[in-house]
Structure 1
Amino acid sequence: MLKTRILTALALLACFIPALFYLDDVIWSWLMLVLTLLAFSEWAQLIGLNVNQTRLYLFSSLILASFAIWQMTLNFHLFFFHALTVFAVAALFWVVLVPIWLAKGLVCRNKIINVGIGWLLLGSLWMALVCAKRVDPWLLLIIISTIWIADSAAYFAGKRFGKHKLAPSISPGKTWEGVLGALAAVSLFALLLILSNAHQPWIILPGLWVVAVLGVYGDLFESMFKRQANIKDSGQLLPGHGGILDRIDGVIPALPIAILMLYIYHYVQAMV
């Protein structure tokens, strides 16, 4: 299983990195939309939509995203402004609602609410992927690398040292030792970035810690819905990893909020 997991990750990187740096922005947007629609189909399964409801969900998501791409080609700045608004709503959801939701073990089986949650979370991720690629592909690569490093470190540290459960009722396999291992690995990654003469190095370590913690929230939130749906993986598309949602669960909160925080930081810097 570990070998399969590693091979799949390497194959994903071999496809993702050239696409990130060499694809046209519009083509990138459509490619990311295809992957997002696959994630939407997995989310539809988690929240219990039937076949016709899933088709309607995917079709309406496609229409909304197509309109957004058209807007982006006409005026990227307007698209980015709308994206920031969506990121702000998503940030409130992750920072305010999700911790309470996880702590209380709440269950939401209302399909309309869950459809809206899917639009907010996966829609904000798709817009973040589009914006980050246009603004700074390296930023996108660093954030996604941080999530993958944290995820891998948490897996190995949890296997080797894990004793204290992080959230046993949601995801029994996750431990506090795994979280500490993830933060340690992310700290080393931050040190490498700082040593590479990164711009404004003092914000890198706390920034990547925030990304790693958000990744944990995303992982737990998806695990909660999988547990409610009584399934182990969101899909079987990625050997060794499960489905698309299983691979991107940590990126879903981290990327939109990271872009929002960076925008606010640079805006404040410009105002001072």
Structure 2
Amino acid sequence: MLRTRVITAILLVTGLLLTVFLASKQVWAIVTLGISLLAVMEWAHLIKLNRTQSFTVVVMTALIGVCVLSLQYTVLAPYQTYTELALLSISTLFWLVIAPVWLGQRKACQHRFMMAILGILLISATWIALVGLHEINPWLLIGVIATVSLADSAAYFAGKRFGRHKLAPTISPGKTWEGVLGALAAVTIYGGLLCYCQQFSLWLVPALWLVVVFSIMGDLVESLMKRQAGLKDSGQLLPGHGGILDRIDGFIPTLPMILLSISLLHFSGFNVHG
């Protein structure tokens, strides 16, 4: 299993780097929209939608993507920014307010329509963040992805080696507080190296801690949905990793939050483009 997981990870990283740095902005947007639609299909599977309902959810998500991409070429271009900020804000509000309560109560949401709309909004916001961060600077996007991926890997190995105290046993029995500490330690070293080599402010390190916290929250929310659906993985598309949602659950909260923060700083007069 570990060998398969590593091979898949290497292929994913290679494909990611090639696409991020070689593809045009338009190609990147289309590729990531396609991946987002696969994630929406898995979301629909988790909440037990039938085939017609799943198709409808995917089409709605695709329409959001097409509309966002098309607005920039029309007289309605200014509304593209407002639409993106609205989706990013909704996503951020969910992860700041609703997700912690949901995880605390561990209640199953039986309202499929509401869960379907939630999936459309959260995954659409993640896609917008992928496109937006790439447009600002591909290295910024890679840095964020590296942070979440490093935290996930460190938590996995630290939990396997030192895990004793369960983080959320009724949601995800494999996750431990030792794994969380391992993730924070790895990201602290990563952030410290970035600060030293790139002369970034040391405030980057606590910012990365927040990224770790919300990436874990995203992981737990997906784990709760899988447990309530009676599934081990969201899909079987990625050998050793499960489905698309299993691979991007940590990015769904973090990427929109980061782009929204950068956008707000930009509108406040800060130069975020270097």
TM-score exceeds 0.5 = yes
Aligned to 1:205: 205
Contact 2:187 2:208 in 1 (8 A): yes
Question: How many residue pairs end up in the alignment?
Answer: 270
- 1:264 is displaced (CA, Å) by 2.8
Q: Which residue identity lines up with residue 186 of structure 2 in the other structure? A: A
SS at 1:172's partner residue?
strand
Report whether the alignment pairs 1:18 with 2:52. no
Aligned to 1:168: 169
Unaligned stretches of 5+ residues in structure 2: none
Partners of 1:122 and 1:270 lie apart in 2 by 28
Contact 1:19 1:28 in 2 (8 A): yes
Report whether the alignment pairs 1:46 with 2:46. yes
Partners of 2:181 and 2:10 lie apart in 1 by 25
Aligned to 2:71: 71
Contact 2:192 2:202 in 1 (8 A): no
- 1:192 is displaced (CA, Å) by 1.5
Relative to structure 1, is the Cα distance of residues 17 and 229 closer, same or farther in structure 2, using a 3 angstrom cutoff?
A: same
Q: Deviations over 1:240-261 (max 9, x none)?
A: 1000000000000000001112
Aligned to 2:254: 254
Bigger mean CA offset, 60-69 vs 90-99: 60-69
Unaligned stretches of 5+ residues in structure 1: none
**Percent identity over the alignment?**
44
SS at 2:198's partner residue?
coil
Contact 1:26 1:73 in 2 (8 A): no
Aligned to 2:92: 91
Name the Cα RMSD after superposition: 1.6
Contact 2:20 2:28 in 1 (8 A): yes
Relative to structure 1, is the Cα distance of residues 72 and 29 closer, same or farther in structure 2, using a 3 angstrom cutoff?
A: farther
Report whether the alignment pairs 1:222 with 2:222. yes
Q: Which residue identity lines up with residue 20 of structure 1 in the other structure? A: V
- 1:71 is displaced (CA, Å) by 1.5
- 1:73 is displaced (CA, Å) by 4.4
Relative to structure 1, is the Cα distance of residues 177 and 34 closer, same or farther in structure 2, using a 3 angstrom cutoff?
A: same
Report whether the alignment pairs 1:105 with 2:106. yes
Report whether the alignment pairs 1:245 with 2:245. yes
Matches within 5 A, 1:46-195: 46-74=46-74, 78-195=79-196
Bigger mean CA offset, 144-153 vs 22-31: 22-31
- 1:77 is displaced (CA, Å) by 6.0
Relative to structure 1, is the Cα distance of residues 22 and 168 closer, same or farther in structure 2, using a 3 angstrom cutoff?
A: same
Partners of 1:270 and 1:216 lie apart in 2 by 29
Partners of 1:184 and 1:6 lie apart in 2 by 22
SS at 1:234's partner residue?
coil
Aligned to 2:31: 31
Partners of 1:258 and 1:67 lie apart in 2 by 23
Q: Deviations over 1:204-245 (max 9, x none)?
A: 101111111110000000000000000000000001100000
Q: Which residue identity lines up with residue 116 of structure 1 in the other structure? A: I
Partners of 1:4 and 1:166 lie apart in 2 by 26
Partners of 1:174 and 1:54 lie apart in 2 by 30
* TM-score, normalization by structure 1: 0.95
Contact 1:80 1:131 in 2 (8 A): no
